Amino acid sequence: MQWVSRIFTIGLMMFLPGVAGQWLDERIGVAFLGPIGWILGFAGSLLALIRLGNEAPPRKAPRRLVSSIDSPHRPQRPPWHSQAPIPPPDRSQRP
């Protein structure tokens, strides 16, 4: 519930300055307080989101999945399969 209240507060921080600026624009008769309010509200909420992100506890590193190579239950190779890698072809003798 704490996160819900924080996100709601950040939403209000973004919305209310713009509404207040537009209300003042209508009352005073100017046209610059509304956009200033929206810009300040956006900047303030962005800073609050950054601060909120820095407060969050770090996540645990994801567990590494065990590959089939590391698995003790890996199927064994058949006995006729060579364990040695196949050597590259000899390219020194070109026709």
Q: What is the pLDDT of residue 69?
A: 55
Q: Which helix (H) or strand (E) holds 20?
A: helix 2-28
User: What's the half-sphere exposure (Cβ side, CA atoms, 13 Å) at 44?
Assistant: 16
| Band of pLDDT at residue 73, cut at 50, 70 and 90 | low
Residue 28 forms part of a structural domain: yes
Question: How many structural domains compose the chain?
Answer: 1
pLDDT tens digits for range 39-60: 999 999 999 999 988 886 777 7
This model's pTM is above 0.75: no
pLDDT tens digits for range 56-71: 677 776 666 555 555 5
Radius of gyration of the chain from its Cα atoms, rounded to whole angstroms: 32
Residue 15 forms part of a structural domain: no
